[in-house]
């Protein structure tokens, strides 16, 4: 083999593979292996009971909704943080990371305290008929909160690296502001926005700590799939727990792979 221009290829690759194997692949393999011990009827019971189906539906719908809102809000916030200078911008920038740094249980308890029907925000919202605490809306809110930094942090660096003269050129060529945004800015940001969406989605699918405090955990209504995993574990049903976990894992993985594929297509299309 011809020696690589960049030195240390074998070492770098070897280290990477062992890190990924130790930290990610082995734990994942254990989960899938544990689940594979189930019989077909056991699998059906673990995944297709009305309770499991309801939990999956809630987890997927709430996660998609949360990631979608994060996508819009995150792109907007990233835009403001990159394009404008204002008093306290550094502080605001740091604040975006708080959901990542906060222990999820603290997030959950804080949200529950605020949005419970007796909480300060919950009381106001209840008067206009909006029930957040201990409802599916509460699940969505917690998931939106934990996914938000991903949406901002993926778009922000791309936006910062994108020189504003693209937009200026478009404007000088007579494009309206809306057209500049739609035809120039957003297409350039597309891959980053999609990545943010996928990361927020993957995070939301597996989120447990912050949700269980605000969801109320009612079977069939506000019980999320990760809580079902804990429920199965509590029954010493490791295989049932692993089966549910595998579904969530595969869903996350599919989302991430799909986004990667779309990005490559976009990149190829742009070069062509």
Partner 1 sequence: MKRVFPYLLASLLVVLGATVARADTASTTLLNVSYDPTRELYTAYNALFAKHWKAQTGETVTINQSHGGSGAQARSVIEGLEADVVTLALAYDIDAISSKGKLLASDWAKAFPDNSSPYTSTIVLVVRKGNPKAIHDWGDLVRPGVAVITANPKTGGGARWNFLAAYAYGLRASHGDDAKARAFVTALYKNVPVLDSGARGSTTTFTERGIGDVLIAWENEAILTTREHPGDYEIVVPRWSILAEPPVAVVDVNAKKHGTTKLAHEYLAYLYSPEAQLLECEQGYRPRLTSVYGKCKTHFAVTDLTTIAAFGGWQAAQARFFSDGGIFDQIYQPSK
Q: How far is the CB of 45 from partner 1 (least distance, A)?
A: 7
Closest CB to partner 1 among residues 96, 227: 227
- Positions touching partner 1 (CB under 8 A) are 10-11, 14-15, 17-18, 22, 45, 49-51, 109, 112-113, 116-119, 134, 212-213, 216-220, 227, 230-237, 240
Tokens representing 46 are: 């673990």
Q: How far is the CB of 252 from partner 1 (least distance, A)?
A: 23
Q: How far is the CB of 139 from partner 1 (least distance, A)?
A: 13
**Residue 129, Cβ density class (10 Å: 0-12 exposed, 13-18 middle, ≥19 buried):** exposed
CA 128 to chain centre: 30
Q: How far is the CB of 54 from partner 1 (least distance, A)?
A: 8
Closest CB to partner 1 among residues 81, 228: 228
Tokens representing 213 are: 């405090």
Q: How far is the CB of 178 from partner 1 (least distance, A)?
A: 46
Closest CB to partner 1 among residues 50, 163: 50
Closest CB to partner 1 among residues 78, 211: 211
Q: How far is the CB of 128 from partner 1 (least distance, A)?
A: 20
CB 197 within 8 Å of CB 71: yes
- Give the CA count within 13 Å in the CB-facing half-sphere of 58: 29
Tokens representing 178 are: 């809306």
Q: What is the CA radius of gyration of the chain?
A: 22
Closest CB to partner 1 among residues 49, 97: 49
Inter-CA distances, 139 with 43, 170, 223, Å? 26, 42, 9
Closest CB to partner 1 among residues 23, 95: 23
CA distance linking residue 122 with residue 119, whole number of Å? 5
CB 211 within 8 Å of CB 142: yes
Nearest to residue 262, comparing CAs of 167, 200, 197? Answer: 197
Q: Give the DSSP H/E element, type plus range, for residue 194.
A: helix 186-206
């Amino acid at each position: 083999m011809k020696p690589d221009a960049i030195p240390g290829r074998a070492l770098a690759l070897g280290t990477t593979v062992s890190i990924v194997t130790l930290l990610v692949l082995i734990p994942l393999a254990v989960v899938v292996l544990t689940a594979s011990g189930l019989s077909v009827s056991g699998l059906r019971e673990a995944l297709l009971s009305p309770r499991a189906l309801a939990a999956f539906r809630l987890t997927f719908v709430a996660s998609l909704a949360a990631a979608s809102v994060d996508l819009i809000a995150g792109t907007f916030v990233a835009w403001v943080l990159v394009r404008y200078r204002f008093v306290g911008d550094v502080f605001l920038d740091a604040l975006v990371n708080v959901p990542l740094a906060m222990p999820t249980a603290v997030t959950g308890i804080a949200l529950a305290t605020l949005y419970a029907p007796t909480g300060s925000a919950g009381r106001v919202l209840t008067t206009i008929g909006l029930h957040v605490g201990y409802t599916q809306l509460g699940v969505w809110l917690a998931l939106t909160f934990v996914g938000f930094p991903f949406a901002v942090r993926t778009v922000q660096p791309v936006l910062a690296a994108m020189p504003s003269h693209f937009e200026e050129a478009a404007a000088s060529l007579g494009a309206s502001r809306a057209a500049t945004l739609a035809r120039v800015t957003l297409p350039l940001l597309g891959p980053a926005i999609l990545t943010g969406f996928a990361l927020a989605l993957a995070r939301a699918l597996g989120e447990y700590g912050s949700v269980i405090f605000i969801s109320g955990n009612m079977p069939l209504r506000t019980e999320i799939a990760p809580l079902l995993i804990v429920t199965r574990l509590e029954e010493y049903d490791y295989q049932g727990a692993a089966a549910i976990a595998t579904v969530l894992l595969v869903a996350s993985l599919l989302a991430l792979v799909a986004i990667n594929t779309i990005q490559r297509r976009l990149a190829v299309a742009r070069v062509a």
